[in-house]
Amino acid sequence: MSALMTLQSVSRSFGNNLALDDVSLEAYPGEVHCLLGDNGAGKSTLIKIMSGVTPPSSGTLTFDGRPVAFRSPRDAKAYGIGTVHQDVGSIPLISVARNFFLGNEPTKGWGPFRRLDHATANRIALEQIREMGIRRINDAGQLVGTMSGGERQALAIARALYFGARLLILDEPTAALGVKESKIVIDLMIKARSQGIALVFITHNATHALQVGDRFTVLIQGRIASQFKRGEKTREEVLNLMAGGEEFDAAGHGD
């Protein structure tokens, strides 16, 4: 199986500051690639490059076997790269359906009478988030603000997948969540993986990473400190690697 997205010797500097130094990684369909590292290790820069927010200073990006240069996040999105941010669904006072279709609103009618197709939007939004296993939501008119953190992540993931994401970048999706809520998100990642989606999972939490990770990249100060596959390193080794760059959360690895 070939990689869906490959980064080859990617570097990125801001002025004199080298944020990312010769990083290579591969994201495979049906696999979760965990990106671990402390704040300032270069994770954000890396996902900005992968999602078309910033171009790399040097190095090449390959998507689906072809070299690509994203001009914008929209461009990356068109290739099928979906990014789920921490503050997802943070437009709390609009409905689930309006949130789901934001920027891609279905319409009917023509000319000045072209209008939102509320019925279709509601039906699909509800279908899709229930598909994600969020059964508690049964009214697409419900405000997103009434959903829990995990449910909002589910909404964002459902949204990205519905609009054709083949590579899903999850930026600390469990960071602000409790144990139960995190489980919802982890389960969703497993589900997406089984559908052949390539996932890139950025996290601080070793437990969460080890639960779903197939491949791991540990970044320290913009460089790859270690890259390995599932089972190649013990839990202790992973924790030590992560601790090499940071003082990790004691609650995060005690299950």
Partner 1 sequence: MTATLETSTPAGPARRHGLIERLLGIVWIGPAIAAIVIYVFFVIVGGASGFLSIPGTAGWLNTAAELGIIAVPIGLLMIAGEFDLSTGSVVGAAAIIVALGTGFYGLPVALTMSMALVMGIAVGCFNALLVSVTRLPSFIVTLASNFILAGTSLGLSRLISGSSNVSLKDAGWAEAVFGSKWMFFNVSVLWYAVAIVIAAWVLKQTPFGNWIFATGGNVDAARRAGVPVARVKLILFIWTAVSSAFVGVMSAIMYNQGNAAQGQGYVFQSAIAAVIGGVLLQGGFGSVTGIVLGTFIYGIVSLGLFYTGWPTDWLATFIGALLVIAVLTNNFVRELALNRGKRKS
Which residue of 130, 183, 223, 230 would you call a contact of partner 1, by CB under 8 A? 130
Q: Which stretch binds partner 1 (CB under 8 A): 33-41, 143-151, 217-225, 240-248?
A: 143-151
Rule CB under 8 A: is residue 97 a binding residue for partner 1?
Answer: yes
CB of 226 to partner 1, least distance (A): 31
Rule CB under 8 A: is residue 102 a binding residue for partner 1?
Answer: yes
CB of 77 to partner 1, least distance (A): 7
d(CA 170, CA 201): 5
d(CA 48, CA 45): 5
With beta carbons less than 8 A apart as the criterion, state whether 98 and 41 touch.
no
Which residue of 40, 59, 73, 252 would you call a contact of partner 1, by CB under 8 A? 73
From the number of C-beta atoms within 10 Å of its C-beta (0-12, 13-18, 19+), residue 69 rates as exposed
CB of 240 to partner 1, least distance (A): 33
Which residue of 55, 58, 136, 190 would you call a contact of partner 1, by CB under 8 A? 136
With beta carbons less than 8 A apart as the criterion, state whether 88 and 156 touch.
yes
Q: Which stretch binds partner 1 (CB under 8 A): 176-184, 197-205, 215-223, 245-253?
A: 176-184
The dihedral through the CA atoms of 231, 234, 235, 237 has a sign that is negative
Of 248, 255, 244, 220, which is closest to residue 20 (Cα–Cα)?
220
Rule CB under 8 A: is residue 122 a binding residue for partner 1?
Answer: yes
Site string for partner 1, 226-255 (x = CB under 8 A): ------------------------------
Which residue of 2, 74, 237, 249 would you call a contact of partner 1, by CB under 8 A? 74
d(CA 226, CA 249): 20
CB of 44 to partner 1, least distance (A): 14
Q: Which stretch binds partner 1 (CB under 8 A): 12-20, 60-68, 121-129, 203-211?
A: 121-129
Helices (H) and strands (E) in the chain, counts: 8, 12
The dihedral through the CA atoms of 185, 252, 31, 169 has a sign that is positive
Rule CB under 8 A: is residue 88 a binding residue for partner 1?
Answer: yes
Rule CB under 8 A: is residue 103 a binding residue for partner 1?
Answer: yes
d(CA 64, CA 244): 34
Listed in order, strand segments (DSSP E) in the chain are 5-14, 17-27, 32-37, 58-63, 66-68, 81-84, 107-108, 115-116, 167-171, 198-203, 215-220, 223-229
CB of 121 to partner 1, least distance (A): 6
Indicate the residue among 9 and 107 with the shorter CB distance to partner 1. Answer: 107
Of 132, 142, 141, which is closest to residue 162 (Cα–Cα)?
132
Kindly give the pairing relationship between strand 5-14 and strand 17-27.
antiparallel
Residues that bind partner 1 (CB under 8 A): 73-74, 77, 83, 85, 87-95, 97-98, 101-105, 107, 114-116, 118-119, 121-123, 126-127, 130, 135-136, 138-143, 145-146, 148, 178, 180-181
